[in-house]
Amino acid sequence: YKDDAERCHWRLPDGDSSIHQPPWARFIDEDRVLARANSSPNLSLWRVPAGVAVYAESVEGGTVMDLTPDRKYAMVLHWSGVFFHDVRTGKPCGELRTPLAMQDFHPMLAGDRVSLAVSPDRTRLMAQMPGTRTLTPLVYWDLKSGECLGHVLVAGTGRTLCWLDSNLALACDEGISATEFLVVDLDRRIVAWRWSVDRVCNLDTHPCKGAWAVCDPPGEDMKYLVKLRVPVDSVREEIGRSMPEGARIAWGPEARVGIDVSGLALPANCEGLRESIEKRWRECIEAIGARVVESSPVKLVLECRQGETTQSEYRTVGRWGSDFSITVTQWHYRVAVVADGLALWEHKGMVDSDPRAMLMPVSGDEDPVAVLHRQGEEQVRRGLEAAFVKTFPPDRLHLQPSNSGGQLGLGSTEMALEDLIVLPENPDLTGLVDSSRPERPVGGFGPRHGGDVGPVFGPRDASDSQRRFMINLLGGPDETLLRHLRWFPAGRRPTVFLRFGGAVDFNDGSLVAQIDNPFELRRLVGEVGLYLNDKLKERLANDEYGSLPDGVDRRLREPAMLGAGKEETLVDDARRQGFDVLLLVEIDQRAAGRGLPDKVRMRFHFVDPCNGARLFSSHALYSSAKPGTKGADAMGMAGNMLNYADENLRLQPMPPMNAEIAKSRLASLSSMIEEAERRRDKGAFLRIMLELRYYQVMEFVVADDVEPLYAKILGPEQAHFMVEDEIADRQRVLREWLDGK
């Protein structure tokens, strides 16, 4: 249309009648229109007024949502990311990949309500991806670097998106009789403000001078404007005043949450299981600084229901030889965080009561049918308790407080309560350098590698420097310890900085090589291994995993290669050398044979050397030539590992604690001392003493509580110096112990 008169019209070709995507059309300029029919997989460019097609390019599997602000590219949203097409040719020319966790969240189906929006400053792109019936993921990227900045899960479905500024996003959920609006703080990954109007509205994605226009509802002549002041500070101030007091969750003693176990429909033969589960969760929630208040609008809901039952046939021999059947029951459980009746997060699973997994020897005088029934009941008890406690412990709850007084929101799905504390930037570590020991000279590659390509450092030499540094911290002033101590949430222990190591595990042991430089690392694990090494090195250099003063041995700031071998040996070696995180590359050559002719399977793991636990594992990568050469899949795997490191391995301030919690930890530390003594692990002793010193300085314990533990490490004659106030004596005792005197 032009000047209220029709200029031209044409019909788009019919496509596949099974495709039902939203139709879409935009002007590229006054003479060209980019369009897609609702039954066609093709994106087509048309000249007007002639109605002649210039091209038709397939975008099957995606939905064209919008143009970039400069109208040079069409953005096509797919379940695996956002793809850019040149509007002149229709050919794909770029992509922004969705995190792997979001790709597994929900497949994109025809008719899914999805949305794209570019920030006003044209630096960020946000997409609403397909979700579940109760949750919708919002994913956002940096348009300059192409990096995925994160995602936020919000309650509800079918949201239209727009931006308030480069940090705050506005989401609109058009319901049947009402419209709900959410303001999402992307930096903090929370829903900061929520309100609704009792009209069906559509969101206009164009700003109008400090307000956002909501298009007129169907059948009415008026329009509604949502008044939101900018800049951001004013918006946040208004948000904070508008939130109801009852919905506020704050970190520390004000944090409160209720526990609802009314939905635990447990089997009758598991008496007491309900109380034990509730008690376990209550203790863990209170241990991390929150208060369990049953009247809280935010509740932790634990549910369990009986599912499908089947009959399993058995035949026994001997005295009780007969045919019989056992009933196998499936029990479905659910853990959810509910605020004012709205499920903000949930986790579901299933436990199978098949007794065959718990078979034990049967005595000659006992009916095996009764034995199997009894063992099946025990498995139900153990399985349900594990479902609620062991496999998903309460200290990994995804409760996200809003510092602005906002409603309970939801952040990253890998975030624990300890992760919610903000890490102060650039902690001052001045004065902790051991000036009595000069830094060792830095070595480089040997001549056989052909040229000076950069330094590679030996991990064993740096471990000694690390221990000297820890001795200065333990023996130094109390205020210095408090100023620099941080909490490592993934390892659940205090530390000052993280030290990374890398190693390769060959499952069949056919090849064991020493990896002491990036050239050998590239040969064994491909470019992806070197890429991960370089990215972790950059993050360590930027103090993203803790900070060290300039005078400390700079070898501690870089990942060190431990070599290749079996996982158990490599983890023990990493623990003895004081590494906090081990990047373990698992290579399975049995899939191809020793000569690596066909396929090799490779996975990456983050391992905590202190206990040998795998913190995170990547998906398996298969290669037809050598490990790590499968391009996009390899980079996607590397990106997944780095995303986990950024979200879960960064150090946090020490969590809230009290004397009761500290004293309960002493028994655990005592057993850890015995294990470290068995392994003769001085690094473990240093970590234990670091925690003991923290409890002392905070006055959670008295000298009589910790002196016996120090005596197990340093000896009875030296232990009392650690509970005295003389800094010189503490440092002398610790240095003599470290030197083996």
pLDDT (tens digit per residue) in 506-551: 665 444 444 544 445 555 566 677 778 778 888 887 777 877 765 5
Is-contact 278 302, C-beta < 8 A?
Answer: yes
**Residues 301, 220 share a domain:** no
- Do 347 and 369 fall within a single domain? yes
What is the C-alpha separation between 500 and 642, in angstroms, rounded?
Answer: 13
Question: Any idea what the CATH number is for the domain that residue 503 is in?
Answer: 3.40.50
Q: Give the torsion sign (CA, 620, 622, 527, 104).
A: negative
Domain end marker among 396, 413, 436: 396
The pLDDT of residue 33 is above 80: yes
Res. 446 pLDDT band, cuts 50 70 90: very low
Total domains, the chain: 4
Q: How confident is the model at residue 198 (pLDDT cuts 50, 70, 90)?
A: low
DSSP 526-591: HHHHHHHHHHHHHHHHTTBTB---TTS-GGGGS-EEEEEE-HHHHHHHHHHTT-SEEEEEEEEGGG
The domain in which residue 315 lies consists of: 256-396
Is the confidence at residue 402, as pLDDT, over 70?
Answer: no
Alpha helix positions (H), 476-517: 478-484
* Pair 349, 425 in one domain: no
Mean pLDDT value across residues 452-463: 36
The pLDDT, as a whole number, for residue 716 is: 82
Give mean pLDDT, residues 410-433. 28
Between helix 682-697 and helix 567-576 the angle, nearest 10°, is 50
> Of 51 and 111, which is predicted with more confidence?
51
In a domain, 708, yes or no: yes
Angle between helices 459-475 and 727-738 (to 10 degrees): 160
Instruction: Report percent pLDDT > 90 for the chain.
Output: 0
Instruction: Give Cα 321 to chain centroid, integer Å.
Output: 53
Residue 29 · residue 43 · CB < 8 Å: no
The pLDDT tens digits of the residues spanning 116-140 come to 888 877 888 888 877 665 567 788 8
Q: What was the pLDDT predicted at 243? A: 27
**Average pLDDT for 164-171:** 69
609 falls within a domain: yes
- Do the beta carbons of residue 63 and residue 114 sit within 8 Å? yes
Least confident of 244-258, 555-569, 573-587: 244-258
Residue 490 has pLDDT above 70, yes or no: yes
Tell me, what CATH number does 375's domain have? 3.30.160
In a domain, 375, yes or no: yes
265: its two tokens: 């429909």
Q: Is 354 domain-assigned? A: yes
* Pair (148, 198) in one structural domain: yes
Residue 234 shares a structural domain with residue 266: no
- 413 or 100, which is more confident? 100
Look up the pTM and report it. 0.39
Is residue 416 domain-resident? no
**Alpha-carbon distance values, 134 to 137, 217, 244, 674 (Å):** 10, 25, 23, 49
Average pLDDT (245-265) is 54
User: Tell me, what's the pLDDT at 67?
Assistant: 84
Mean pLDDT within 575-590 = 79
Give the pLDDT confidence score for residue 365 in this predicted structure: 53
- Which residue, 205, 240, 275, sits at the end of a domain? 240
Average pLDDT for 28-51: 83
Q: How much is the pLDDT for 600?
A: 64
Of 84-93, 233-242, 249-258, 366-375, highest mean pLDDT? 84-93
Hey, is 132 helix, strand or coil?
Answer: coil
- The pLDDT of residue 607 is 92
Interval 397-415 mean pLDDT: 31
Q: Is 437 inside any structural domain?
A: yes
- Does residue 210 carry a pLDDT above 50? no
Residues 363 and 215 in one domain: no
Identify the weakest region by mean pLDDT among 25-39, 302-316, 319-333, 623-637: 623-637
564 lies in the same domain as 702: no
Q: Same domain for 441 and 392?
A: no
Same-domain check for residues 499 and 583? yes
Shared domain for 229 and 117, answered yes or no, is yes
Q: In terms of pLDDT, which residue wins out, 452 or 495? A: 495
In a domain, 470, yes or no: no
Q: Which two tokens stand for residue 267?
A: 């089997």
The residue-averaged pLDDT of 373-393 equals 60
- Tokens 């990456």: give the residue: 604
Of 580-594, 691-705, 723-737, the poorest mean pLDDT is in 580-594
Angle among Cα 225, 231, 233 to the nearest 5 degrees reads 110
Pair (506, 597) in one structural domain = yes
Q: Is the pLDDT of residue 594 over 70?
A: no
> Is 693 within 8 Å of 472 (Cβ atoms)?
no
Q: Are residues 169 and 303 in the same domain?
A: no
Select from 210, 240, 270 the last residue of a domain. 240
Mean pLDDT (whole number) for 473-497? 81
Is 590 within the bounds of a domain? yes
Q: Averaged over 464-473, what is the pLDDT?
A: 72
Whether the per-residue pLDDT at 567 is higher than 80: the answer is yes
CATH number assigned to the domain comprising residue 171:
2.130.10.10
Q: Tell me what percent of the residues of the chain surpass a pLDDT of 70.
A: 54
Instruction: Supply 155's token pair.
Output: 């309650």
